[in-house]
Amino acid sequence: MNAPGGSRARIVAVFGALVAIWGTTWLAIRIGLEHYPPFFSLALRFCVAGPLILLILRLRGERIPWALRHQPFFLLLGLLSYVTSFGVVYWGEQYVTSGLAAVIFGLLPLLTGVVAHFLLPSERLGPGKVLGLALGLGGIVVLNSANLSLIHPRAPLAAIVLTVSPLVTAISSVLSKKRVHEFPALALAGIPMIYAGLLHIVLWRVFEHDRPIAWSWPGVASIAYLTVFGSVVTFTGYFWLLRRLEVSRVSLIAYMTPLVALTVGVVFGGETLPGRVIAGAALVLCGVGVASRVRRRL
């Protein structure tokens, strides 16, 4: 792996931390949804996480790019990543297991590679990457081949809708990569989160104003974890990696987090792990291995 601006060990450590944390956020989302409606949960999460990230940015002595000419770009990132992508995930996890939602999001590396191929001249899809991504996609197909209606009557529809999330995230990741050196990394996360938090307040008031909010320690702990670790820590690390690696390499995180999410869902969430899920997970790992060995240096 090429590692401009960061040692191999540090990049591997950040990469591994993101996989571990994001792998556990899927169950945390499901726990939170047992107590709070989706848009309310997202509004609270991003209205706290966004300002926290910008506070860290200021404490580091970096300027926040509030210039009006930059705001359409930040608003677009917020709409893609934190409103559409997260909104779809939170809605979908009302009807599918946390592990299955994570697996569907595992389409991200394939979609990112395709989008990057057309928008980033330096990140063309070669035969090795195509093979690795295809193997991973095949694993995702196997993982999703179970009878989803046994989970919930709306699960088949939710699985289809959930595919929107990796698609818009892929577009957002590539757009961020194109301008990642123009802004502080934390600004690329914090400002869009603030816009998204405000938009989720509107969505909550319009669509969920009549839904009850059951305050509880598990619900509060879920949002706190998702805010601090699932947002502030992870997106800080994500944009740090995005400055140093190809966007298609960073997106490989989404191949590995489903394995963590499936394990956490089984051990702590009481979710099932049938044989075809194990087979699909093995294919995903093979895809990760093939794609990551296209270039031996990170």
How many domains does one find in the chain? 1
In a domain, 82, yes or no: yes
The range of the structural domain enclosing residue 220 comes to 8-292
In a domain, 1, yes or no: no
> What number is the average pLDDT over the span 34-41?
94
For helices 253-269 and 108-119, the axis angle rounded to 10 degrees is 160
In a domain, 214, yes or no: yes
* Residue pLDDT, tens place only, 226-265: 999 999 999 888 888 887 887 767 877 877 888 899 889 9
Nearest Cα residue to 262 out of 101, 148, 134? 101
Kindly state the helix (H) or strand (E) to which residue 242 belongs, with its residue range: helix 234-242
According to DSSP, residue 68 is labeled G
pLDDT at 6 over 70: no
In a domain, 26, yes or no: yes
Nearest Cα residue to 222 out of 51, 34, 39? 34
In a domain, 3, yes or no: no
In a domain, 297, yes or no: no
In a domain, 62, yes or no: yes
In a domain, 298, yes or no: no
The residue among 143 and 186 whose pLDDT is bigger is 186
- Provide the pLDDT for residue 297: 43
* Residue pLDDT, tens place only, 100-140: 888 888 777 777 777 877 777 666 767 777 787 788 778 77
Least confident of 28-37, 217-226, 230-239: 230-239
CB 248 within 8 A of CB 130: no
